[in-house]
């Protein structure tokens, strides 16, 4: 039976799960407080530990995670999911995070889990979106070699075939009236991970392609620039708003263009801190 206080499978971070669980169970049992949980964890003199964990100020050790599993009455796959979630959220090593994310996807028992797994597969490789976009500018019936000759960096025919099968299963491509495969209007929903690590993973893939574009001697038109800036905290929001408007304007140019698309480009925008 699913936990009645909070559906752990709808969370990609254990901290808000803990906060909601404690809140909801506390409504049914007034004695279920953070202080009581700390006592049960063997921390009788600490009232702030759990709050600090939830706010991300303190880590949750494996021992304390196991204690919480018992206190929260998590059973079976829910317990496994919680363990993986704690490890996933607290790891700073990309390969480890990827390993734990795979575990979370496989353990997800929510009704949208199948959609999540397929979306997960889509976002694990940069070329799925590139192949889909390329179908908008070339006519492809059954000969996928057309894509192999068109896309840069080069992809093996095996990867293109696997990607094509995924795109068809997701309903992201369809045959038009002439029998050519074209992008569908369907958007991809990735469930509770939509704004989480699946998207981050995809962005890292795209950044790897950006590296190859910088180093490439290709004669294709491109625009690559980098700026390192000293800014005021108050100006960050202004810059972020400008970037959002800029991206909206680019999408508007593409959407309203009177010319048929004849090439695929990738636009990456990064604005990140380099000081604490």
Query: pLDDT (tens digit, 9 = 90+) per residue, 42-59?
Result: 987 777 898 899 999 999
Say whether pTM exceeds 0.85.
no
CA 258 from chain centre, in angstroms, equals 34
Distance CA 7, CA 191 (A): 14
Residue ranges of alpha helices (H) inside 124-176 are: 127-134, 145-150, 157-169
| Cβ density class 59-91: b for 16+ within 10 Å, e for less | ebeeebbebbbebbebeeebbbbbbbbbbbbbe
Query: What pLDDT is attached to residue 1?
Result: 55
Across the chain, mean pLDDT equals 85
Local confidence band at 111 (pLDDT 50, 70, 90 cut-offs): very low
Q: Given a cut of 80, is residue 81 above it in pLDDT?
A: yes
Look-up of token digits 């019936």: 141
Query: pLDDT (tens digit, 9 = 90+) per residue, 122-141?
Result: 888 899 999 999 999 999 99
Query: pLDDT (tens digit, 9 = 90+) per residue, 10-26?
Result: 888 899 999 999 999 99
User: Does residue 111 sit in helix, strand or coil?
Assistant: coil
């Amino acid at each position: 039976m699913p936990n009645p206080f909070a559906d752990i499978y709808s969370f990609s971070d254990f901290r808000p799960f803990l906060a909601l669980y404690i809140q909801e169970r506390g409504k049914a049992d007034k004695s279920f407080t953070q202080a009581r949980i700390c006592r049960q964890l063997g921390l009788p003199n600490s009232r702030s530990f759990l709050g600090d964990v939830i706010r991300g100020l303190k880590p949750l050790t494996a021992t304390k995670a196991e204690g919480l599993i018992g206190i929260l009455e998590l059973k079976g796959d829910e317990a496994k999911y919680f363990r993986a979630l704690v490890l996933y959220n607290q790891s700073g090593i990309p390969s480890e995070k990827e390993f734990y994310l795979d575990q979370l996807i496989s353990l997800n028992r929510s009704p949208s889990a199948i959609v999540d797994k397929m979306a997960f597969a889509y976002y694990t490789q940069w070329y799925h979106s590139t192949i889909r976009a390329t179908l908008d500018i070339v006519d492809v019936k059954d000969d996928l070699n057309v894509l192999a000759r068109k896309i840069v960096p080069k992809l093996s025919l095996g990867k293109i075939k696997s990607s094509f099968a995924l795109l068809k299963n997701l309903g992201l491509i369809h045959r038009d009236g002439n029998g050519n495969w074209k992008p569908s209007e369907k958007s991809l929903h990735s469930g509770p991970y939509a704004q989480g690590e699946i998207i981050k993973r995809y962005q890292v893939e795209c950044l790897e392609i950006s590296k190859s574009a910088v180093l490439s001697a290709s004669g294709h038109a491109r625009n690559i620039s980098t700026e390192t800036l000293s800014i005021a905290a108050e100006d960050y929001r202004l810059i972020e708003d400008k970037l959002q408007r800029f991206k909206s304007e680019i999408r508007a140019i593409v959407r309203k263009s009177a010319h048929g698309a004849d090439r695929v480009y990738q636009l990456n925008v990064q604005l990140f801190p380099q000081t604490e």
